[in-house]
Structures are given as structure tokens and as C-alpha cells.
Amino acid sequence: MEIKPTALPDVLLIKPQVWSDARGFFLETWNEKEFELAGLDVHFRQDNHSRSIRNVVRGLHYQLTRPQGKLVRCTRGAIFDVAVDLRHSSPNFARWIGVELTETNYEMLWIPPGFGHGFQVLSADADVSYKASELYDVDSDRVVRWNDPQLAINWPLRDAAILSRKDASAPLMASAQLYG
């Protein structure tokens, strides 16, 4: 497993080793020892899986009092995956990183606690699976508007976004409850 830093400190791009032959392929999607060797002591408490159609944007989601670290991968199709630093105390506050995760590049994105997360589906549909370091907590659940001008995220399909009611009515970052 190759664990590479991104332009946003603490967010990591993970490239698993893939063994392929005529039968198909095999890869490890999680290896506690490899993460520990990279300096990450992470224990996952929940796995999530979603399927969405092209142009769907989910996010930017986070939990305020029970922040989740997320290990995100796209198991079918292609997505543009985004992590935003929502920690006021961070020198990288309001910076974001976006990467394309696909069923064929097998890459995963580690998004640590304190970050907002969202993605946009680039293919006809996509399955997204992620491990979370905390359980979902409805009372702690928060969202920042996906197209907040302050963030200026370069979404690939910006004019065609399909949103949930919750995401469509999300506050701008300036008025959202964020991390200290």
C-alpha cells in the first residue's frame, strides 16, 4: 500500500497494490499496520456505502462534536472527491483538495477528523464506500454549501449538480458552525 501526502496536510491519497490476472483482481482496502507505519492510529467504527447517479453532489458533510475521519473509495464508476479543512485553528483553514477516485485507479482518500467531505459523480452512476472513525450522530451532523464562493471548489460538473434538500439548503461557511 502506497500512502502519499497531498497538497493539503493530513489528507492522504492511498494507492493499494492490486494483483490482477485472467480471473480478475485482488487488493487490500484497509491494513491497520500500513496506516500505523504511516503515523496514523485509526480505528474504524462504521462502514457506509452509497450509490448515486451522474451529477449528484453529496456534501460538504461533517460532524461537529463527534468528528469522523473517513477512508473513501469509489468501487463503481468515477467521482470527484473533496476534503475541506474546517478547523479555524488550522493554518490551512478553508483550503480544499479534490481528487478523482475511480473503480479503475483503486485510489482512496483519507480525510481526517476536522474536515468537511463531499463528492460529485462523474460517471453514469457510482458506488462510494467509506470507513468512518466515529459512528454517525444526527445531533452532530452539519453541512456547508457545496458551492460556497469563499471555498471556490472547482467542481467538474458545476452547472449540473443534483442535490438533496439538506445539501441544497446548507449554509455558507461564514455562517456555519465549524471546528475551533
Annotated catalytic residues are 61, 130
SS3 145: coil
SS3 160: helix
What's the rounded Cα separation, in Å, for the pair 141 and 139? 6
Buried b (16+ CB within 10 A) or exposed e, 55-73: bbbbbbbbbeebbbbbbbb
Count other Cβ atoms within 10 Å, centred on residue 169.
10
For residues 150 and 94, the answer to whether their CB atoms sit within 8 Å is yes
For residues 126 and 76, the answer to whether their CB atoms sit within 8 Å is yes
What's the rounded Cα separation, in Å, for the pair 117 and 70? 9
Query: Is residue 24 left, alpha or beta, with left meaning phi > 0 and alpha meaning psi from -120 to 50?
Result: left
Which amino acid is present at 163? L
